[in-house]
Amino acid sequence: MRRPDDEDDPTAREPDAETGGELDPDLIVVELTDVLDLHGFRPAEIADVVRTYLDEAHAAGLRRVRLIHGKGIGVQREAVRRILARDPRVTGFGDLPAQHGGWGATWAELRGDSDPGDSDLRRP
């Protein structure tokens, strides 16, 4: 439960509705949009974050998402794309135009629940 003095504290959290307990202090809550910026995550977290994001994005009915991994030397980009290539809900992915991140971000199209199922459709 929040205390009155927590109102302006962005780190104050509501109790977990399912368990009635406090949220895990290491839990990062990210608003679900069609863009996931991976810059704030450690490399070891990327695979789990991307898989969880794909689960949530698909469940929410998002059909096209953008994953921002940065340019660097391409390690995160390749890790993200390996996950996308193996996920049967992903029908295609690729680089964004330069004005939207270029090779520092990857777009992915997700199959809708009613889409027929060849998981290799339009894979690069």
* Cβ-count burial 19-35 (b if 16+ within 10 Å, e if not): eeeeeeeeeeeeeeeee
Question: Given a cut of 80, is residue 36 above it in pLDDT?
Answer: yes
Is residue 19 domain-resident?
no
Q: Give the lowest-confidence range in 5-19, 23-37, 65-79.
A: 5-19
Q: How confident is the model at residue 23 (pLDDT cuts 50, 70, 90)?
A: low
Is residue 45 domain-resident?
yes
Classify residue 103 as exposed, middle or buried by CB count within 10 Å of its CB (0-12, 13-18, 19+): middle
Is residue 8 domain-resident?
no
Q: How many CA atoms lie within 13 A of 36 on its CB side?
A: 26
Question: Given a cut of 50, is residue 21 above it in pLDDT?
Answer: yes
**pLDDT number for residue 124:** 41
Q: Which CATH number belongs to the domain containing residue 83 in this structure?
A: 3.30.1370.110
Domain extent at residue 63 = 30-110
Is residue 122 domain-resident?
no
Is residue 42 domain-resident?
yes
Q: Give the lowest-confidence range in 23-32, 91-100, 102-111, 113-122.
A: 113-122
Q: Specify the number of domains making up the chain.
A: 1
The pLDDT tens digits of the residues spanning 51-99 come to 999 999 999 999 999 999 999 888 999 999 999 999 999 999 999 888 8
What does the DSSP assignment read for 34-86? SEEEGGGS-GGGHHHHHHHHHHHHHHTT--EEEEE---TTSHHHHHHHHHHHH
Question: Given a cut of 80, is residue 123 above it in pLDDT?
Answer: no
pTM above 0.85, yes or no: no
Q: How many CA atoms lie within 13 A of 8 on its CB side?
A: 1
